[in-house]
Amino acid sequence: MFKKILIANRGEIAVRVIRACHEMGIEAVAIYSDVDRDALHVRYADEAYPCGPPPAAESYLRMERIVEIAKRAGAEAIHPGYGFLAENGDFADLCEREGVVFIGPAGDVMRKMGDKVTARQTMEAAGVPIVPGTTERLSDAEARAWIEKIGLPVMIKASAGGGGKGMRLVRRPEEIEQGLKRARSEAKASFGDDSLYIEKFVEQPRHIEIQVLADGFGNCIHLFERECSIQRRHQKVIEEAPGNGITPELRAEMGRAAVAAAKAVHYRGAGTCEFLLDAEGNFYFLEMNTRVQVEHAITEAITGVDIVKAMIRVAAGEELGIDQEDVSISGHAIEARIYAEDPENKFLPSPGEIVVYRPPGGIGVRVDSGVYQGARVTPHYDPMVAKLITWGRTRSESVERMRRALREFVVKGIKTSIPFHEQVLHHPIFLEGRYDTGFIDEHMGGGVLRTADGGQEHRVALMLAAVAAWRRDKERARRAGSVVHGSGQSPWRAFGLRRQLGGGLR
Ligand code: MV4
């Protein structure tokens, strides 16, 4: 096993990896940009080295410099976390050339999945269902012909895109020309690659993803699904595991597809296959994320498997040591991503000093955070300051814990998305678990919480929704004996009293 690992990241994920290292008796080396000298991940690490000025391109993305630091510190491996260099095949190649283990899949595997046209070809060949559409790079003429054949509506997507970047929805014939033109020029400008492909548009899909783990010996398992349909502008806000209403049969089928996807590329490490699930229960492969994801912790909560430790073990050449039959789902977990953003002001970033920081605790609560009281949130990086994960034996229990934990969570000095999460956690459609990717746009007014000036109507609507939820909960509790406790008094508490008192209750 490695004796020392460098973590090429910052924030909560760097802390998460350091914790795994320390449990395994491995020393952790941090890197930090000039504004991160006092960051939490630096304090947790055994050693830390500066890597440059705050812009990521001059610090956390400096491949040669980071590998050089690893070698100088005597670290045998680099964990990239998520973001930054995590899905950069050239970085994995560089590590290998320099004799440092990259904790993740091989560079060519990342490139294969990073290029969506190649990924679609690979998945089709492996028998994994892909969204109906094309599997070649298309000229404009070919694209027109295919759109004719597939029929509207379609999505025009950039092969080099992903995660919602570089895609355009075309619903009407007159939108085709501009769609193609814009998609191509955006792809060229954003990725330096204007290859496009076409997919049939899946209406009101749900985002269901499967966690996989694989070693270098051909062992590959899945750790079931996560539902990530609650997103705002392709940014996940709330995730849960298992997914709502996913039958054991569908779960097994999607799990098999994800394992087939991973095996097709000789995957090693932790990865995630994203699928769209339509209203009829059909699922389609979208893309594979070749890294540990932000939301991995909810899978850890329901399976008990430490995903980061598994990544480190297989990167060190060990066998996975877990069979598919060894894993099962226990209970339900929900994650709320706490962002330093102001939900009452268009989710604008809210940097500054965290003057008061009092995270929740107690049974079934996990907080993975990269900040502490007195720390500064700078505008240079991702605004996520903490992940709040609650587990319960049932979905209702995890919901109740999440409400309780959100209520306990005190962050002062910066604005956070906590009030927005509280509203979602009281929304009848969320409570029913019958939502899709349109939830925030259709039921949360696009996510904009308006207050003082002219937002009265909006607030009333949200309060009525909360009261409806409370009535429904009460009615259901009466009929089924499965209670979502605490909602008896909370619609008013959450939306009226608490706001009137201006946070005084905290
Ligand atoms: C789609 C789609 C409907 N049909 N593709 C957005 C993120 C990227 N990973 C793929 N995305 C979508 N692709 C087809 N053919 C709808 C979305 C989509 C979406 C997907 C997952 C979660 C949230 C979403 C929000 C809007 C659109």
3-state DSSP of 145-173: HHHHHHCCCEEEEEEEEECCEEEEEECCH
Q: Quick check: CB of 207 below 6 Å from ligand 1?
A: yes
Q: Based on the domain organization, do 192 and 265 belong to the same domain?
A: no
* Backbone phi, psi, residue 267, to 5°: -65, 145
- Per-residue pLDDT of 78-101, as tens digits, reads 999 999 999 999 999 999 999 999
% of the chain beyond a pLDDT of 70: 89
What is the pLDDT, as a whole number, of residue 368? 98
Ligand 1 geometric centre to CA of 234 (Å)? 8
Q: Quick check: CB of 202 below 6 Å from ligand 1?
A: yes
Q: Based on the domain organization, do 330 and 358 belong to the same domain?
A: yes
CATH of the domain at 23: 3.40.50.20
Q: Based on the domain organization, do 149 and 234 belong to the same domain?
A: no
Ligand 1 geometric centre to CA of 155 (Å)? 9
Residue range 123-133: mean pLDDT, rounded? 98
Q: Which atom of ligand 1 is nearest to the CA of 201?
A: 4
Ligand 1 geometric centre to CA of 342 (Å)? 25
Residue range 348-373: mean pLDDT, rounded? 98
Q: At what angle do helices 140-150 and 176-191 cross, to 10 degrees?
A: 130
- Looking at 179, 200, 221, which one is the last position of a domain? 200
Residues contacting 375, CB < 8 A, separation 6+: 38, 39, 40, 353, 354, 357
Is 307 inside any structural domain? yes
Look over the chain and give the mean of its residue pLDDT values, rounded to a whole number.
92
Amino acid at position 18, single letter: I
The structural domain count of the chain equals 4
For the chain, the straight-line distance linking the first and the last C-alpha, in angstroms and rounded, comes to 46
Kindly report the protein residue whose alpha carbon is nearest to atom 10 of ligand 1.
164
- Looking at 88, 103, 118, which one is the last position of a domain? 103
Ligand 1 geometric centre to CA of 209 (Å)? 12
CATH of the domain at 334: 3.30.470.20
Q: Quick check: CB of 198 below 6 Å from ligand 1?
A: no
Residue owning tokens 């090693």: 268
Kindly report the protein residue whose alpha carbon is nearest to atom 7 of ligand 1.
164
Q: For residues 81 and 97, give the distance between their C-alpha atoms in angstroms, rounded to a whole number.
A: 20
- Residues belonging to the chain: 506
pLDDT at position 209 over 70: yes
pLDDT at position 487 over 50: no
Q: Based on the domain organization, do 361 and 432 belong to the same domain?
A: yes
Domain boundaries, position 188? 132-200
pLDDT band for position 291 (cuts 50, 70, 90): very high
Q: Based on the domain organization, do 344 and 418 belong to the same domain?
A: yes
Q: Write the DSSP string, 422-462.
A: HHHTT-HHHHHT---TTHHHHHSGGG----TTT-HHHHHHH
Q: Based on the domain organization, do 222 and 310 belong to the same domain?
A: yes
Q: Quick check: CB of 435 below 6 Å from ligand 1?
A: no
Kindly report the protein residue whose alpha carbon is nearest to atom 24 of ligand 1.
437
pLDDT at position 494 over 90: no
Contact status, residue 392 vs residue 312, Cβ threshold 8 Å: no
Q: Based on the domain organization, do 348 and 391 belong to the same domain?
A: yes
Ligand 1 geometric centre to CA of 164 (Å)? 6
Is 138 inside any structural domain? yes
Token pair in block for residue 365: 């609560």
Kindly report the protein residue whose alpha carbon is nearest to atom 14 of ligand 1.
201
What is the pLDDT, as a whole number, of residue 506? 38
Token pair in block for residue 396: 């209702």
Contact status, residue 448 vs residue 346, Cβ threshold 8 Å: yes
Q: Quick check: CB of 391 below 6 Å from ligand 1?
A: no
Contact status, residue 66 vs residue 94, Cβ threshold 8 Å: no
Q: Based on the domain organization, do 72 and 166 belong to the same domain?
A: no
Q: What is the largest CA-CA distance in the chain?
A: 66
Q: Which atom of ligand 1 is nearest to the CA of 131?
A: 15
Contact status, residue 47 vs residue 417, Cβ threshold 8 Å: no
As annotated, the active-site residues are 291
Q: Based on the domain organization, do 310 and 398 belong to the same domain?
A: yes
CA angle 343, 334, 129 (to 5 degrees): 100
Is 117 inside any structural domain? no
Residue owning tokens 């209670």: 483
Is 505 inside any structural domain? no
pLDDT at position 501 over 60: no
Q: Based on the domain organization, do 421 and 468 belong to the same domain?
A: no
Would you put residue 117 in left (φ > 0), alpha (ψ -120 to 50) or beta? Answer: alpha
pLDDT band for position 446 (cuts 50, 70, 90): confident
Question: Whose CA is closest to 124, among 221, 271, 275, 264?
Answer: 264
Q: Based on the domain organization, do 192 and 214 belong to the same domain?
A: no
Task: Tell how strand 77-79 and strand 101-102 pair up.
Answer: parallel
CATH of the domain at 155: 3.30.1490.20
Contact status, residue 87 vs residue 289, Cβ threshold 8 Å: yes
Q: Based on the domain organization, do 310 and 240 belong to the same domain?
A: yes
Ligand 1 geometric centre to CA of 134 (Å)? 16
Q: Quick check: CB of 234 below 6 Å from ligand 1?
A: yes
Q: Quick check: CB of 231 below 6 Å from ligand 1?
A: yes
Is 126 inside any structural domain? no
Is 122 inside any structural domain? no
504 CB-contact burial (10 Å; exposed 0-12 / middle 13-18 / buried 19+): exposed
- Per-residue pLDDT of 146-162, as tens digits, reads 999 999 999 999 999 98
What is the pLDDT, as a whole number, of residue 467? 67
Is 263 inside any structural domain? yes
pLDDT at position 449 over 90: no
Residue range 183-199: mean pLDDT, rounded? 95
Kindly report the protein residue whose alpha carbon is nearest to atom 5 of ligand 1.
201
What is the pLDDT, as a whole number, of residue 486? 46
Kindly report the protein residue whose alpha carbon is nearest to atom 9 of ligand 1.
163
Q: Quick check: CB of 205 below 6 Å from ligand 1?
A: yes
Kindly report the protein residue whose alpha carbon is nearest to atom 3 of ligand 1.
202
pTM, full prediction: 0.90
**Ligand 1 pocket test, candidate residues 120, 234, 439, most atoms within 8 A of CB:** 234
Is 110 inside any structural domain? no
What is the pLDDT, as a whole number, of residue 504? 39
- Per-residue pLDDT of 47-73, as tens digits, reads 999 999 999 999 999 999 999 999 999
pLDDT at position 145 over 90: yes
What is the pLDDT, as a whole number, of residue 19? 99
Token pair in block for residue 482: 């499965």
Q: Which of 42-56, 153-167, 312-326 has the lowest mean pLDDT?
A: 153-167
What is the pLDDT, as a whole number, of residue 451? 56
Ligand 1 geometric centre to CA of 465 (Å)? 27
- Looking at 175, 200, 225, which one is the last position of a domain? 200
Q: 276 by DSSP, 3-state: which?
A: strand
CA distances, 503 to each of 315, 398, 406, 446, 500 (Å): 47, 24, 13, 24, 8
> Which stretches does DSSP call E strand in 89-234?
101-102, 154-162, 165-170, 196-200, 206-214, 220-232
Q: 76 by DSSP, 3-state: which?
A: coil
Q: Which atom of ligand 1 is nearest to the CA of 203?
A: 3
